[in-house]
Structure 1
C-alpha cells in the first residue's frame, strides 16, 4: 500500500539525515586510517617542530632527538592521533553539511563552483575553535625545554587551566584561525578540479583522489607554512610575558635573520607528511563517498 505524502516526506528526511551523517562517518574513518601512519612519521613531525622553534638544521635536530631517547621521542604523540581522527570527522562532515545548505540557496553556476571553498572556510573556522587547545597541548609536550617542569600530560593540562584563556588553551588562536580557514577553503575548493584534471591522465578514481589530495595539501602546506611556524613558537612555552601576534611575528622574523629560507626550515618535510596523510585521507574519503552514493 502506498504511503501518505507525510510518510514519504518523513522517509525522504530520514534518508537525507543518513546521507549527511555519512560524511561525518567517512571523514572520521578516512582520517583514522590515515592517522595510523602518524605513529611511523611522528619522528618526522617532531623534527619539523623542533626546527620551527629552535631554527636548527635537520642533522642537529635529529642528533638532539637521538640523545633524548625513544621514550621522549614519542612524547606528545597522543594529541595529534586523537586530533587527527576527530578533525576529519568534523572537517569533512561539517563542510558537507554547509555545502548542502549553501547549495539550496544559490542557483548561479559561477557562485556554485565556489561553494565547496566557502563551505570549507566555515568548517575551518569551527575546526580552529575546537582544536586550538589540542594543538596547544601538543606543542607544549613536544618542546624539550618543558620536560623538566611539565613532565606529563596531566601537568600540562593543569598548568594551562590556570592561565588566562588567551594565554592558556587558546594561545595563538588568531593565526590558527587564519591558517585553518584558508587551508580548508583551498583544499575543498581545489581538490575536486585537480582530481578531474588528474583523472584525465588515465589514473584510476582512487589514484586520482590520492594524487589530488597530495598535490593540493602540499601546495597549501608550503603556502601557509610560515603561519605554522608562528603558531609553534607562540604555543611552545607556558607562562612568561603575554605578547601579541605581530610582536611574536616580528621576533620570529628577526630570529630568522630576515631570511625566507630560514623561516622555511623543515618545509621539505611537510611535503612528506602531506603526501602520507592527506593523500590517504582524500583517497579513502572519496572512495567511501562514491560507494554510498
Structure 2
C-alpha cells in the first residue's frame, strides 16, 4: 500500500516527451549562432594569421608584400604564430557575440516591431552587436605589440605585454577605441544588410553542400568589400 502511494506521488520523468524535446531543441537553437561564430573565428584566425602578420607589417612600416614576407622568413617559423593568442581569444569571443547578439536582437525586434522593414531591423540589430565587441579592445592592443618584431626581445608572451601596459593606465588598453567602434558598427550594418540580397542573386541551394558554397561565396564577397 505504501509502495503504491509513493509510486503515485512520484512525479513522472517525462510528462510530455515531444514538449520536452522541443524545449531542448529551442535551447540549442538559441546558442547555435554563438557557437558557430566561435568556431568560425577559431578556424579563420588559425588559417589566416600569417597573412594578417604580413598585412600588419606593411601597414606599420610602409613596405611591399615581398619585403614583409622576407621579414617573416628572417623571424623564423618559431615566431610565425607569435602573438596569436590575443586575436584567437578576441576573435572567437567577438564573432560569437556578433552573430549571437545579432540573431537575438533581430528576433526581439521582429517580435515587438513587426511592421518595421527588414533592412531597418537588420541595421538596428547589427550596430549594438558590433559595438559590443569593443570591450575586448585590450586584446587587439596587445596583439599589435606582439606582432611588431621590434618587441620580440621585450615581450615573450601575452601576459608580459598586458603587464607592461599597466603603468600607462586603463586608457592605454583602450587606445584606438573610437575607430574600432566605428569600424565594427558600420561594417556590421553592411555585412548583415547585404548578406541577404547577395545570397538572393546566387543559384538556389537545394543541398547542404550548396548552402555551404553560397555562404562561402557571400562571405568572401562581403569580406573583400569591407576590407577596402
Q: Which interval holds the TM-score relative to the shorter structure?
A: 0.7 to 0.9
Distance in 2 (alpha carbons) for counterparts of 1:113 and 1:78: 36
Residue-pair matches, total? 210
Is the contact between residue 128 and residue 176 of structure 1 (CA under 8 Å) also seen in structure 2?
A: yes
Is the contact between residue 80 and residue 138 of structure 1 (CA under 8 Å) also seen in structure 2?
A: yes
Distance in 1 (alpha carbons) for counterparts of 2:109 and 2:222: 23
Quote how far apart the aligned CAs of 1:161 are.
2.3
| Structure 2 residue 200 is matched with structure 1 residue 193 | no
Partner SS for 2:118: helix
Is the contact between residue 183 and residue 220 of structure 1 (CA under 8 Å) also seen in structure 2?
A: yes
Unpaired segments ≥5 residues, structure 2: 1-14
Unpaired segments ≥5 residues, structure 1: 223-293
Quote how far apart the aligned CAs of 1:76 are.
0.7
Partner SS for 2:160: helix
Question: 2:36 maps to what in 1?
Answer: 26
Question: 2:180 maps to what in 1?
Answer: 176
Quote how far apart the aligned CAs of 1:214 are.
0.8
Question: 2:217 maps to what in 1?
Answer: 211
Distance in 1 (alpha carbons) for counterparts of 2:146 and 2:41: 22
Q: Which has the higher contact order (CA 8 A, sep 6+)?
A: 1
Distance in 2 (alpha carbons) for counterparts of 1:209 and 1:40: 18
Distance in 2 (alpha carbons) for counterparts of 1:201 and 1:97: 25
Q: Who wins on radius of gyration, i.e. which is larger?
A: 2
Quote how far apart the aligned CAs of 1:184 are.
1.3
Question: 1:67 maps to what in 2?
Answer: 74
Deviations 1:56-108 (A, max 9, x none): 11122122221122222221112222322222211111111111111122232
What is the Cα-based RMSD across aligned positions, in Å? 2.6
Distance in 2 (alpha carbons) for counterparts of 1:148 and 1:127: 30
Distance in 1 (alpha carbons) for counterparts of 2:50 and 2:73: 10
Is the contact between residue 125 and residue 180 of structure 1 (CA under 8 Å) also seen in structure 2?
A: yes
Deviations 1:128-175 (A, max 9, x none): 22x2111111111001112233333222111122322222x1110000
Task: Describe how 1:97-246 pairs up with structure 2 within 5 A.
Answer: 97-108=104-115, 111-129=117-135, 131-167=136-172, 169-200=173-204, 204-222=210-228
Is the contact between residue 23 and residue 93 of structure 1 (CA under 8 Å) also seen in structure 2?
A: yes
Quote how far apart the aligned CAs of 1:217 are.
1.5
Q: Could you state the TM-score of these two structures normalised by the residue count of structure 1?
A: 0.64
Is the contact between residue 126 and residue 192 of structure 2 (CA under 8 Å) also seen in structure 1?
A: yes
